[in-house]
Structure 1
């Protein structure tokens, strides 16, 4: 009789262990299926189908953080080009500066006011000087907003008789506005902007 009870107890113990293993396996499989489903859903949300010339093309939506350095550099480059590419025409100068000021805070307006008060723009117009800028490189610092930057550029002041070349270095920060617009496509704003150096290097 005791042997019979022992056998029943042993069988019950085996069934109990088997049930625990089965339940554990089911939980694991369920979690794995949920994970795969979430991955597939995430990939599907990042896939965009575009109809182009009657053909369906597939595009992948990337996380903005992947392209963030490229967007920051382009924003900084665009601002400097709008601010420093000048022609001897007051309306053209105002148009460029207005576009630049959409991309920066009052620190850029302060720099503009200083140049205007010193007669810089009037001198360009009266002497028929065209100013062209080429952004050579932009160094970004930090790993979160506001990102710091140092911009290195080359300026050319073209006169009818000569061309002067200057090295321009500026510094500032870029913060995220969280909203894009026609005037500010990247949705960034340059702040605490200052001109560190703007010196002649060559005249010919």
Structure 2
């Protein structure tokens, strides 16, 4: 009888240990499953699809600091592109200038007002001149804040009789602001000024 009791006690102990081991395994598997599920959700949230020429392209979301130099350069390039890409059409000029002024402070507005007072935009329209700009390079110093930049670009003025290329050098500061539809990078150009703007070459037509 004592042997039967010992056998029952031993069997109960084995069952108890097995049940505890099985329970720990269940907790382990459940925890691992939850962890992988959260990882997959976080990864999926970082995936963004944008339409480029009618095709869905996968991009990845990240912190601004991860692509600081890239975003700063693109912000500066887009400001100069909108400010200096002009056709002899008042609506085109107003539309492009409005997009540019969303990316800069009052120094951009002041430069626009000065050009307007000098009759620059009226001359473009009356002479049917198209103006475009190619940014060659952007120098950045991100060791101080606001960030200091210098932009080197080439302007192209197309007239009915000739095409003129001008060297353009500007400088200014960039500080961080909130992102918006009008300012997707979340930067603002400050103290913007032209350092050099001279004719490079003249091509007859």
* TM-score normalised according to structure 2 size: 0.71
> For residues 46 and 172 of structure 1, what CA distance do their matches in structure 2 show?
38
Q: Which residue of 2 aligns with 1:37?
A: none
- Cα separation, partners in 2 of 1:47 and 1:196, compared to 1, 3 Å: same
Q: What stretches of structure 1 move > 4 A for 4+ residues in a row?
A: 49-52, 58-61
Coordinate RMSD, CA, aligned: 2.5
Judged with a 3 Å threshold, the aligned counterparts in structure 2 of structure 1 residues 59 and 103 are, in CA distance, closer, same or farther, namely closer
Unmatched 5+ stretches in structure 1 = 1-39, 53-57
The equivalent residue for 1:192 is: 191
CA drift at 1:160: 1.1
> In the alignment, what sits opposite 1:162?
162
CA distance in 1, matches of 2:165, 2:196: 13
Question: After the TM superposition, which residues 1-204 of structure 1 pair with which residues of structure 2 at under 5 Å, given as runs?
Answer: 44=39, 47-48=43-44, 61-177=61-177, 179-204=178-203
Residue 144 to residue 203, structure 1, CA distance change in 2 (3 Å): same
What is the CA-CA distance between 1:65 and the residue it aligns to?
A: 1.4
Q: Tell me by how many angstroms 1:196 deviates.
A: 0.7
How much has 1:112 moved relative to structure 2? Answer: 0.5
Residue segments in structure 2 that go unaligned for 5+ positions in a row:
1-34, 50-57
TM-score, structure 1 length as denominator? Answer: 0.71
* C-alpha distance 46-70 of structure 1, shift in aligned 2 (>3 A): farther
